[in-house]
Amino acid sequence: MPSPELRFQWARLDDLSARDLHAALQLRSAVFVVEQNCVYHDVDDYDLQCWHLLAWSGKQLAAYLRVTDPGSKYPEPSLGRVLSAPAFRGQGLGLQLLTEALQRCATTWPGQANRISAQHYLLKFYQGFGFVPLGEVYLEDDMPHIEMLRPAA
Ligand SMILES: CC(C)(COP(=O)(O)OP(=O)(O)OC[C@H]1O[C@@H](n2cnc3c(N)ncnc32)[C@H](O)[C@@H]1OP(=O)(O)O)[C@@H](O)C(=O)NCCC(=O)NCCS
Protein backbone atom coordinates (compact mmCIF):
# COMPACT_ATOMS: atom_id res chain seq x y z
CA MET A 1 0.00 0.00 0.00
CA PRO A 2 1.50 3.42 -0.87
CA SER A 3 2.24 5.76 2.04
CA PRO A 4 -0.41 8.43 2.54
CA GLU A 5 0.77 11.98 1.94
CA LEU A 6 1.57 13.63 5.24
CA ARG A 7 1.64 17.24 6.37
CA PHE A 8 4.11 17.71 9.20
CA GLN A 9 3.64 20.22 12.00
CA TRP A 10 6.64 20.90 14.31
CA ALA A 11 5.57 23.06 17.21
CA ARG A 12 6.13 24.02 20.81
CA LEU A 13 3.21 23.38 23.13
CA ASP A 14 2.18 27.05 23.28
CA ASP A 15 2.03 27.22 19.50
CA LEU A 16 -0.33 24.27 19.08
CA SER A 17 -4.00 25.09 18.85
CA ALA A 18 -6.19 23.59 21.56
CA ARG A 19 -7.66 21.24 18.93
CA ASP A 20 -4.26 20.08 17.66
CA LEU A 21 -3.11 19.43 21.22
CA HIS A 22 -6.34 17.56 21.93
CA ALA A 23 -5.74 15.33 18.87
CA ALA A 24 -2.16 14.59 19.95
CA LEU A 25 -3.02 13.78 23.56
CA GLN A 26 -6.05 11.73 22.55
CA LEU A 27 -3.95 9.61 20.19
CA ARG A 28 -1.15 9.23 22.74
CA SER A 29 -3.53 7.94 25.38
CA ALA A 30 -5.30 5.67 22.86
CA VAL A 31 -1.96 4.03 21.99
CA PHE A 32 0.20 4.13 25.11
CA VAL A 33 -2.45 3.81 27.81
CA VAL A 34 -5.34 1.88 26.23
CA GLU A 35 -3.75 -0.19 23.44
CA GLN A 36 -0.63 -1.01 25.44
CA ASN A 37 -2.71 -1.50 28.57
CA CYS A 38 -0.39 0.59 30.66
CA VAL A 39 -1.51 2.85 33.50
CA TYR A 40 0.98 5.69 33.54
CA HIS A 41 1.15 9.49 33.39
CA ASP A 42 1.25 10.01 29.66
CA VAL A 43 1.00 13.80 29.95
CA ASP A 44 3.97 15.07 31.93
CA ASP A 45 6.04 18.18 32.42
CA TYR A 46 8.37 17.28 29.55
CA ASP A 47 5.49 18.25 27.30
CA LEU A 48 6.21 21.82 28.36
CA GLN A 49 9.87 21.65 27.24
CA CYS A 50 9.79 19.83 23.96
CA TRP A 51 8.94 20.01 20.31
CA HIS A 52 5.83 18.16 19.19
CA LEU A 53 5.84 16.60 15.72
CA LEU A 54 2.38 15.93 14.34
CA ALA A 55 1.89 14.14 11.01
CA TRP A 56 -1.48 14.84 9.45
CA SER A 57 -3.21 12.89 6.72
CA GLY A 58 -5.94 15.30 5.71
CA LYS A 59 -7.73 16.16 8.94
CA GLN A 60 -6.65 12.99 10.71
CA LEU A 61 -3.65 12.84 12.99
CA ALA A 62 -1.80 9.82 11.59
CA ALA A 63 1.45 9.84 13.55
CA TYR A 64 3.12 11.74 16.34
CA LEU A 65 6.27 12.05 18.43
CA ARG A 66 7.88 14.57 20.72
CA VAL A 67 11.51 15.63 21.16
CA THR A 68 12.59 16.82 24.60
CA ASP A 69 15.08 19.67 24.66
CA PRO A 70 18.75 18.91 25.32
CA GLY A 71 19.36 19.08 29.07
CA SER A 72 15.71 18.40 29.84
CA LYS A 73 15.17 14.64 30.07
CA TYR A 74 18.63 13.72 28.75
CA PRO A 75 21.71 15.74 27.80
CA GLU A 76 20.81 15.14 24.13
CA PRO A 77 17.56 15.94 22.33
CA SER A 78 15.44 12.85 22.96
CA LEU A 79 12.66 11.33 20.88
CA GLY A 80 9.67 9.91 22.69
CA ARG A 81 5.98 8.98 22.47
CA VAL A 82 6.68 7.68 18.95
CA LEU A 83 3.47 6.37 17.43
CA SER A 84 1.42 5.92 14.33
CA ALA A 85 -2.34 5.64 14.59
CA PRO A 86 -3.51 2.01 14.42
CA ALA A 87 -5.44 2.60 11.19
CA PHE A 88 -2.27 3.89 9.50
CA ARG A 89 0.23 1.22 10.55
CA GLY A 90 2.33 -0.79 8.14
CA GLN A 91 2.24 1.90 5.45
CA GLY A 92 5.64 3.46 6.06
CA LEU A 93 4.48 6.25 8.38
CA GLY A 94 6.84 5.25 11.15
CA LEU A 95 9.73 5.59 8.70
CA GLN A 96 8.49 8.97 7.45
CA LEU A 97 7.95 10.23 10.99
CA LEU A 98 11.43 9.27 12.22
CA THR A 99 13.09 10.64 9.09
CA GLU A 100 11.31 13.97 9.51
CA ALA A 101 12.09 14.11 13.24
CA LEU A 102 15.81 13.43 12.74
CA GLN A 103 15.98 16.13 10.05
CA ARG A 104 14.23 18.59 12.37
CA CYS A 105 16.65 17.70 15.17
CA ALA A 106 19.66 18.23 12.89
CA THR A 107 18.34 21.67 11.95
CA THR A 108 17.29 22.69 15.46
CA TRP A 109 20.40 21.36 17.27
CA PRO A 110 23.17 20.98 14.65
CA GLY A 111 25.92 18.53 15.56
CA GLN A 112 24.07 16.94 18.49
CA ALA A 113 23.46 13.25 19.09
CA ASN A 114 19.93 11.95 19.76
CA ARG A 115 18.84 9.64 22.54
CA ILE A 116 15.77 7.44 22.88
CA SER A 117 14.41 5.24 25.61
CA ALA A 118 13.04 2.69 23.18
CA GLN A 119 10.52 -0.06 23.71
CA HIS A 120 12.73 -3.11 23.33
CA TYR A 121 10.54 -4.81 20.71
CA LEU A 122 11.48 -1.98 18.32
CA LEU A 123 15.26 -2.35 18.69
CA LYS A 124 15.76 -3.17 15.00
CA PHE A 125 13.42 -0.38 13.89
CA TYR A 126 15.57 2.22 15.68
CA GLN A 127 18.86 0.55 14.70
CA GLY A 128 17.75 1.16 11.12
CA PHE A 129 18.05 4.91 11.82
CA GLY A 130 21.54 4.60 13.32
CA PHE A 131 20.57 4.33 16.99
CA VAL A 132 22.95 2.11 18.98
CA PRO A 133 21.80 0.27 22.13
CA LEU A 134 23.37 1.35 25.42
CA GLY A 135 23.40 -0.91 28.47
CA GLU A 136 20.80 -3.39 29.61
CA VAL A 137 17.09 -3.79 29.04
CA TYR A 138 15.11 -2.21 31.89
CA LEU A 139 11.47 -1.86 32.86
CA GLU A 140 9.82 1.52 32.46
CA ASP A 141 6.14 1.56 33.42
CA ASP A 142 6.41 -2.26 33.41
CA MET A 143 7.42 -2.36 29.74
CA PRO A 144 10.88 -3.57 28.58
CA HIS A 145 12.91 -0.62 27.31
CA ILE A 146 16.45 -0.01 26.18
CA GLU A 147 18.32 3.27 25.94
CA MET A 148 19.74 4.02 22.51
CA LEU A 149 22.00 6.77 21.20
CA ARG A 150 22.34 8.04 17.66
CA PRO A 151 25.75 9.70 17.39
CA ALA A 152 25.98 13.15 15.84
CA ALA A 153 26.51 13.07 12.07
C1 LIG B 1 6.23 1.47 16.07
C2 LIG B 1 5.25 2.16 15.16
C3 LIG B 1 5.39 3.67 15.32
C4 LIG B 1 5.60 1.78 13.71
O5 LIG B 1 4.75 2.51 12.88
P6 LIG B 1 4.34 2.04 11.39
O7 LIG B 1 3.69 3.22 10.75
O8 LIG B 1 3.60 0.77 11.42
O9 LIG B 1 5.81 1.81 10.78
P10 LIG B 1 6.24 1.54 9.29
O11 LIG B 1 5.10 1.05 8.47
O12 LIG B 1 6.95 2.78 8.77
O13 LIG B 1 7.30 0.39 9.49
C14 LIG B 1 8.62 0.73 9.75
C15 LIG B 1 9.45 -0.46 10.09
O16 LIG B 1 9.18 -0.80 11.43
C17 LIG B 1 8.88 -2.17 11.52
N18 LIG B 1 7.84 -2.35 12.52
C19 LIG B 1 6.64 -1.76 12.53
N20 LIG B 1 5.91 -2.21 13.58
C21 LIG B 1 6.69 -3.13 14.21
C22 LIG B 1 6.51 -3.96 15.33
N23 LIG B 1 5.36 -3.96 16.01
N24 LIG B 1 7.53 -4.77 15.71
C25 LIG B 1 8.67 -4.78 15.02
N26 LIG B 1 8.90 -4.02 13.94
C27 LIG B 1 7.93 -3.21 13.54
C28 LIG B 1 8.34 -2.54 10.16
O29 LIG B 1 8.51 -3.92 9.92
C30 LIG B 1 9.14 -1.68 9.24
O31 LIG B 1 10.36 -2.31 8.93
P32 LIG B 1 10.76 -2.58 7.40
O33 LIG B 1 10.87 -1.21 6.79
O34 LIG B 1 12.05 -3.30 7.53
O35 LIG B 1 9.62 -3.37 6.85
C36 LIG B 1 3.80 1.70 15.44
O37 LIG B 1 3.72 0.29 15.34
C38 LIG B 1 3.25 2.12 16.78
O39 LIG B 1 2.70 3.22 16.93
N40 LIG B 1 3.35 1.23 17.81
C41 LIG B 1 2.74 1.49 19.12
C42 LIG B 1 3.47 2.58 19.88
C43 LIG B 1 4.90 2.20 20.24
O44 LIG B 1 5.19 1.11 20.71
N45 LIG B 1 5.80 3.19 20.05
C46 LIG B 1 7.20 3.02 20.31
C47 LIG B 1 7.63 3.75 21.52
S48 LIG B 1 9.38 3.56 21.79
Q: Name which residue sits closest to atom 16 of ligand 1, judged by CA.
A: 125
Residue 93: per-residue pLDDT: 97
Q: Which domains does the chain have, with CATH numbers?
A: 7-110 (3.40.630.30)
CA–centroid distance, 54 to ligand 1, in Å, is 17
DSSP 86-146: GGGTTSSHHHHHHHHHHHHHHHHSTT--EEEEEEGGGHHHHHTTT-EEEEEEEEETTEEEE
Residuewise pLDDT in 10s, the chain (153 residues): 778 899 999 999 999 999 999 999 999 999 999 999 999 999 999 999 999 999 999 999 999 999 999 999 999 999 999 999 999 999 999 999 999 999 999 999 999 999 999 999 999 999 999 999 999 999 999 999 999 999 998
Q: Is the CB of 122 under 6 A from ligand 1?
A: yes
Which ligand 1 atom is at minimum distance from the Cα of 85? 39
Residue 153: per-residue pLDDT: 82
Residue 4: per-residue pLDDT: 85
Residue 133: per-residue pLDDT: 98
